[in-house]
């Protein structure tokens, strides 16, 4: 079974808060839940996908050389479900402030303290943030 590859943007502001978006209630995945800015790789590299999604979803301009892989979550949501590799990249610099560019997918962008994340939050988003804070680069969920 092939794996779906997802990319996720981990941004921290000057106060070390993490950027999360509130998914639209009608979103295909995780409606009414807080999540990273994210997307699935199409016919492109993971970093190219991340840069594209950041611009499309939030109007953020990211130079690929300012990005590093900081965490990977290998997850299966349900027994027999499609395995997914969720790659979390930190951008050290970016241009722009988060804006709602896809209101049919995301209702709000908000900066959250890592020790006081919102609820509900996508479980692997919380696991990745906790892993990054703890210096771990890999998490498995649902296996």
Q: What pLDDT is stored for residue 1 in this prediction?
A: 60
* pLDDT given for residue 26 in this prediction: 94
For CA atoms 11, 12, 14, 20, the dihedral sign is positive
DSSP classification of residue 61: B
Overall pTM > 0.85: yes
Model confidence pLDDT, tens digit, residues 118-139: 999 999 999 999 999 999 999 9
CA-based nearest residue to 117, from 106, 102, 128, 107: 128
List pLDDT tens digits, range 15-26. Answer: 999 999 999 999
pLDDT tens-digit profile of 95-112? 999 999 999 999 999 999
Q: For residue 69, what are the contacts with CB-CB under 8 A and spacing of at least 6? A: 87, 88, 89, 137
Q: According to the model, what pLDDT value does residue 62 have?
A: 98
What's the pLDDT tens digit per position in 33-86?
999 999 999 889 999 999 999 999 999 999 999 999 999 999 998 888 899 999
The domain spans of the chain are: 4-141
Residue 26: Cβ-neighbour burial (10 angstroms; 0-12, 13-18, 19+): exposed
Tell me what pLDDT residue 120 has: 98
3-class DSSP state for residue 98? coil
Tell me the CATH number for domain 4-141: 3.90.79.10
C-alpha dist (Å) from residue 39 to 54, 55, 109, 134, 143: 9, 12, 16, 25, 22
């Amino acid at each position: 079974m092939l794996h779906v590859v997802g990319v996720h943007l981990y941004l921290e502001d000057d106060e070390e808060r993490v950027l999360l978006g509130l998914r639209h209630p009608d979103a295909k995945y995780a409606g009414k839940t807080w999540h990273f800015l994210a997307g699935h790789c199409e016919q492109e590299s993971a970093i190219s996908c991340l840069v594209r999604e950041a611009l499309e979803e939030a109007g953020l301009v990211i130079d690929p050389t300012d990005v590093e892989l900081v965490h990977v979550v290998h997850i299966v949501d349900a027994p027999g479900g499609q395995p997914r590799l969720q790659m979390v990249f930190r951008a050290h610099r970016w241009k722009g402030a988060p804006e709602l560019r896809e209101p049919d997918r995301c209702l709000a962008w908000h900066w959250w303290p890592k020790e006081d994340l919102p609820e509900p939050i996508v479980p692997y988003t919380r696991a990745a943030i906790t892993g990054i804070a703890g210096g771990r680069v890999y998490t498995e969920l649902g296996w």
